[in-house]
């Protein structure tokens, strides 16, 4: 079974703090993704990576950065957390080669910025 794990289920941070969200997958998947999920807005893609040290902006990259130094690990960084970044953050991974392009999701990190 593919397993995607995220470092924390719940996180509370203060405005202005630097926040690291870690994601690890154990199936040697090339693609990895970071989404945020908000009521009424659904899942929105922040960044994705299709290889080590490669990254592509998604729909809402502002205020975020990412790091992928190893194939199995994809980190999301909030350089200076703000209250509008309070959200559920979901990491996902998928194989690069061909459909169905199924994405395997982690359990999510609920981040609250106060």
Partner 1 sequence: QKEVEQDPGPLSVPEGAIVSLNCTYSNSAFQYFMWYRQYSRKGPELLMYTYSSGNKEDGRFTAQVDKSSKYISLFIRDSQPSDSATYLCAMSSTGNQFYFGTGTSLTVIP
Nearest CB to partner 1, comparing residues 84 and 99: 99
Instruction: Supply the minimum distance, in Å, between the C-beta of residue 34 and partner 1.
Output: 12
CA 105 to chain centre: 10
User: Residues with Cβ < 8 Å from 30, sequence gap 6 or more?
Assistant: 50, 51, 71, 94, 95, 96
Q: Which of 11, 43, 60, 77 binds partner 1 (CB under 8 A)?
A: 43
Instruction: Supply the minimum distance, in Å, between the C-beta of residue 80 and partner 1.
Output: 27
Nearest CB to partner 1, comparing residues 45 and 77: 45
Structure tokens, 2: 């593919």
Nearest CB to partner 1, comparing residues 79 and 98: 98
The residue count for the chain: 114
Structure tokens, 67: 């790091």
Answer yes or no whether residue 84 interacts with partner 1 by CB under 8 A: no
């Amino acid at each position: 079974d593919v397993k995607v794990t995220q470092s924390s289920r719940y996180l509370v941070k203060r405005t202005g703090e630097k926040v690291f969200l870690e994601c690890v997958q154990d199936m040697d998947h090339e693609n990895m993704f970071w989404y945020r999920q908000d009521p009424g807005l659904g899942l929105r893609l922040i960044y994705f990576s299709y290889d080590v040290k490669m990254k592509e902006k998604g729909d809402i990259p502002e205020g975020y950065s990412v790091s992928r130094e190893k194939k199995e690990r994809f980190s999301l960084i909030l350089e200076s957390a703000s209250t509008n970044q309070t959200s559920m953050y979901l990491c996902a991974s998928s194989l690069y080669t061909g459909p169905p392009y199924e994405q395997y999701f982690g359990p999510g990190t609920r981040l609250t910025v106060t």
